[in-house]
Structure 1
Amino acid sequence: MGKNSFSLGPIMLYHLDHLGEDDFDVEEMFTKTSSSEEAISYVTALKEEANALFRLRDFNTAFVLYNKSIKCLCVIMCAISDDTQMCEVSL
């Protein structure tokens, strides 16, 4: 790997460290999406829903949805980072 390369994986996994076996947010994303584009749209929709709840001052529910979107986004970012590193190794 090049001298300027780095992995987002450890950073993203740090945010996922608190996931438990009873946490189904990421699993739900995988059941509702079949491509990386759909997964990103799913996360964007969660964020937009959280934004709307925030504007309505429903901070508790907005907080839950923001965290759900962050967890799902972290998984997507880890996968993209891994794919990028595999490409770099193949160069």
Structure 2
Amino acid sequence: MGWFLGVAIGLAAIAVPSLIVGAGLGILGFGAAGIAKGTIAAGLHSAIGCASTPSIFATLQSAAMGGYGASIVSGVVQVVGGLVALVSAAFY
């Protein structure tokens, strides 16, 4: 039964990556209005200082704000989802 859950999650990530991206970025502290105070993202931002483009941090913030990073991060989620589905199905 565990393999079925892995396949389902992987396929969901491929079909609707925006749900995973939005929730994941929000949990980390990346938001549409900027970095949320007291979050992991705020701590990272404090540690790295000014985030230049194209850095992972800037891309994640761009994704949260609906910019160029949205398609990049969604694509990564879809690829990872495909791998999760594939590996789960392989261990059936």
Please report the TM-score for the alignment, with normalisation by the length of structure 1.
0.38
Please report the TM-score for the alignment, with normalisation by the length of structure 2.
0.37
